[in-house]
């Protein structure tokens, strides 16, 4: 009965996303909300009363221990349905090992010291696990690509954890199956420690979605686990739950989290948590809707990376962005600088700009270079990214004082030139251009141009003006976000529309 | 049980039907970068870019200074995007190039070029 109900419930969610992805995200009318709330109350209430009878079961597996479905694992408002995890045999978790000796052909290892000893695993190297989430699989491109990129910059044991038999089930079941795989990973780490003398501090688990909570379970069972990275940890059944159930700073010595889909599941179908659950919590683009995810259906599915990647993005674009940013950050740490801030409005308005000395960590792979003060956790960081690969961006504050022959309607743009090339033109202001006024805007440029040498100003409007107005920037100040450095540029001449004015360093 | 689900689905359908779409993005024109296009006029960036003659075209940002660019052509799509405002695509123009859409060049600032020539 219960399973039947849930089975109908889960495809229901998926279908509705297909129908209504964009309208849902962009606007919600007032009639809309009560209907959804009612629906939620109905379903949860219904399930709630069906629950009580089956509570209190337990299942034990060899070497992994016992798993009960008592509180807080079920019977709470967040997790109404009791459900026991499947056996390790049924889940059939595979551990796919890549090292520098075999970067292209993987080896399969298991929780068996002899199998590990016979593989290319070496205890002197760091070990990084990557695990996927709901409905995904471990031999998916993104896990392999991430392994290969990490191997290109460091010598590690990279283990992709595949648990597709356990993830392709009802959500409730998958959300409980992760406890078994977490226990298996913890058991494997204990083998690393006892048979090969690898310290758990040199082990890192990267988990996407449900995989983030899977990593948390492994971390809870492993004292002094080095690091857990949660890539958009799953929201349903975890948000608001006690720390035992979900990812939490206590699960490892260092926990960093990237939030990319943090709107509520109902009604926005956001799959990720908004709650801060790590030492460092990054909210790129505000953490709710990612640029490049609002494309029309055909453009989204017929993706540059193929139809399969496009279909994945069509279903859960925001949710999947988390591992794309993470993969990008491996080779390019500086392009993902996070600014400490309390929310996206403050970040956009410039209150959190620029960085104080060493207060900004890099989002993603290199976030562990940041010194976390002992006892401090759930620090929130904001940054913006691009809408397609490469996602890296560099933030500047541009302050422009303009002068001209008369007030006119139009827009103006500024391009930055440095010793390392130049950026595109970024629109600073659109509307009335009044001589003598100063305009200010924060921009995220696509290129690291290093020390600025000059800037260019250009203005234009869409209407013909027979009075032939001229404008020029008298003063442009550019402040670099990462180190607060100010670059000042001066200009004297005025230019006609659509003509570039070059401003050089003030004398 | 089934009745409840049917009612829930109906509620959801009503909710979806009553939402109004107020987004600024377009389907035919005013396309964002990354969306499929047939001609450049559809794109916000006014560049419909394709990687090769057989690949699909998508809207892309225009070329910044010192990047490779195409001169304006009548085809409507480009292998390299046209230059940003105020820049000129400096390169050789040939009839052959204009037929196969390969009149490429480099974006330069015409004013800066004058001053350096003087």
pLDDT (0 to 100) of residue A311:
87
pLDDT at A55: 59
Q: CA-nearest residue of chain A to B62? A: A424
CA dist., res. A132 & res. A143, Å (int):
8
The tens digit of pLDDT for each residue in B15-25 reads 444 333 334 56
Q: d(Cα B45, Cα B81) in Å, to the nearest integer?
A: 10
Partners of residue A46 in chain B, C-beta under 8 Å: 4
Task: Please choose, from the candidates A185, A159, A163, A165, the residue with its C-alpha nearest in 3D space to the C-alpha of residue A96.
Answer: A159
pTM: 0.85
Contact criterion met (CB below 8 Å) for A389 and A335:
no
Pairing of strands A94-98, A65-68: unpaired
User: DSSP 3-state assignment of A6?
Assistant: helix
Instruction: Give the closest of B4, B35, B64 to A423, CB-based.
Output: B64
Q: Do B111 and A295 touch (CB under 8 A)?
A: no
Cβ within 8 Å, pair A500-B1 = no
Q: What is the dihedral of CA B94, B99, B104, B108, to 10 degrees?
A: 70
Catalytic residue among A232, A251, A261, A313: A232
Distance from CA of B26 to the nearest CA of A (A): 8
At A167, the pLDDT band (50, 70, 90 cuts) reads very high
Tens digit of pLDDT for each residue in A30-59? 434 444 544 554 455 444 444 444 557 899
Q: Read off the pLDDT of residues A245-297 as tens digits, 9 standing for 90 and up.
A: 999 999 999 999 999 999 999 888 899 999 999 999 999 999 999 999 988 88
| pLDDT over 70 (residue A299) | yes
Phi first, then psi: what are they for A53, rounded to 5°? -60, -35
User: Exactly one of A209, A289, A367, A392 is catalytic; which is it?
Assistant: A209
The span from the CA of A340 to the CA of A156, in Å, is 31
Chain A: closest CA distance from residue B90 (Å): 16
Residues of B in contact with A5 (CB under 8 A): 1, 5
Q: pLDDT tens digits for A172-218?
A: 999 999 999 999 999 999 999 999 999 999 999 999 999 999 999 99
Average pLDDT, chain A: 88
Distance CA A375, CA B87 (A): 54
Task: Provide the 8-state DSSP code for A285.
Answer: G
Contact A91, A177 (CB under 8 A): yes
* Beta-carbon count within 10 A of A111 CB: 20
Q: What ipTM was reported for this prediction? A: 0.78
- The span from the CA of A129 to the CA of B86, in Å, is 50
Is residue A4's pLDDT more than 80? no
Q: Chain A interface, mutation test: which of B65, B88, B107, most A Cβ atoms within 10 Å?
A: B65
Q: What is the mean pLDDT of residues A159-175?
A: 94
pLDDT of residue A374: 84
Residue closest to A170 by CA, chosen among A5, A7, A2, A1: A7
Q: Which listed residue (A319, A328, A367, A392) is catalytic? A: A319
């Amino acid at each position: 009965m219960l399973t039947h109900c849930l089975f109908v419930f889960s495809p229901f969610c998926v279908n509705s996303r297909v129908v209504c992805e964009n309208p849902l995200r962009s606007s919600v009318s007032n009639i809309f909300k009560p209907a959804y709330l009612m629906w939620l109350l109905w379903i949860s209430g219904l399930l709630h009363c069906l629950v009580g009878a089956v509570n209190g079961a337990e299942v034990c597996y060899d070497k992994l221990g016992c798993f009960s479905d008592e509180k807080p694992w079920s019977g709470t408002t967040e997790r109404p349905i009791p459900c026991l995890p499947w056996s390790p045999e049924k889940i059939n978790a595979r551990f796919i090992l890549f090292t520098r000796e075999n970067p292209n052909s993987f080896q399969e290892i298991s929780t068996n010291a002899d199998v590990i000893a016979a593989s290319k695993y070496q205890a002197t190297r760091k070990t990084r696990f990557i695990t996927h989430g709901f409905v995904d699989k471990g031999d998916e491109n993104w896990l392999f690509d991430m392994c290969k990129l990490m191997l290109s910059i460091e010598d590690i044991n990279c283990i992709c954890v595949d648990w597709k038999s356990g993830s392709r089930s009802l959500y409730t079941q998958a959300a409980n199956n992760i406890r078994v795989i977490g226990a298996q990973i913890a058991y494997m780490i204990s083998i690393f420690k006892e048979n090969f003398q690898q310290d758990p501090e040199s082990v890192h688990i990267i988990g996407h979605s449900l995989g983030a909570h899977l990593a948390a379970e492994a971390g809870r069972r492993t004292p002094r686990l080095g690091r857990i990275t949660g890539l958009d940890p799953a929201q349903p059944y975890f948000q608001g739950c006690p720390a035992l159930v979900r990812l939490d700073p206590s699960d490892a010595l260092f926990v960093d989290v990237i939030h990319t889909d943090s709107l509520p599941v109902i009604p926005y179908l956001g799959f990720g948590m908004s709650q801060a659950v790590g030492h460092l919590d990054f909210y790129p683009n505000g953490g709710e809707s990612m640029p490049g995810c609002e494309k029309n259906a055909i453009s989204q599915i017929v993706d540059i990376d193929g139809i399969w990647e496009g279909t994945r993005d069509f279903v859960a674009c925001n949710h999947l962005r988390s591992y794309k940013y993470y993969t990008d950050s491996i080779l390019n740490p500086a392009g993902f600088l996070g600014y400490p801030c309390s929310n996206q409005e403050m970040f956009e308005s410039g209150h959190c700009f620029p960085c104080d000395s060493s207060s900004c960590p890099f989002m993603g792979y290199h976030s562990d270079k940041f010194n976390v003060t002992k006892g401090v956790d759930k620090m929130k960081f904001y940054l913006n990214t691009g809408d397609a690969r490469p996602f890296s961006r560099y933030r500047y504050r541009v302050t422009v004082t303009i002068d001209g022959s008369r007030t006119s309607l139009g827009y103006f743009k500024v391009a930055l030139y440095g010793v390392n090339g130049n950026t595109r033109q970024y629109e600073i202001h659109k509307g009335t251009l009044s001589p003598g006024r100063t305009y200010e805007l924060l921009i995220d440029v696509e290129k690291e141009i290093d020390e600025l040498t000059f800037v260019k100003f250009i203005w234009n409007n869409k209407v013909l003006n027979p009075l032939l107005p001229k404008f020029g920037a008298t003063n442009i100040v550019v402040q670099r976000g990462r180190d607060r450095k100010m670059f000042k540029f001066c200009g004297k001449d005025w230019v006609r529309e659509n003509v570039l004015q070059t401003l050089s360093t003030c004398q | 049980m089934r009745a409840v689900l049917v009612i829930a689905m109906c509620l959801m359908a009503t909710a979806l039907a009553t939402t109004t779409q107020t987004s600024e993005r377009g389907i035919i024109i005013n396309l964002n970068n990354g969306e499929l296009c047939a001609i450049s006029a559809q794109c916000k960036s006014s560049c419909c870019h394709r990687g090769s003659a057989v690949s699909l075209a998508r809207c892309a940002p225009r070329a910044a200074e010192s990047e490779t660019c195409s001169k304006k052509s009548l085809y409507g799509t480009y292998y390299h995007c046209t230059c940003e405002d105020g820049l000129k695509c400096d390169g050789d123009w040939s009839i052959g190039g204009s037929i196969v859409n390969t009149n490429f060049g480099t974006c330069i600032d015409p004013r800066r070029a004058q001053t350096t020539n003087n």
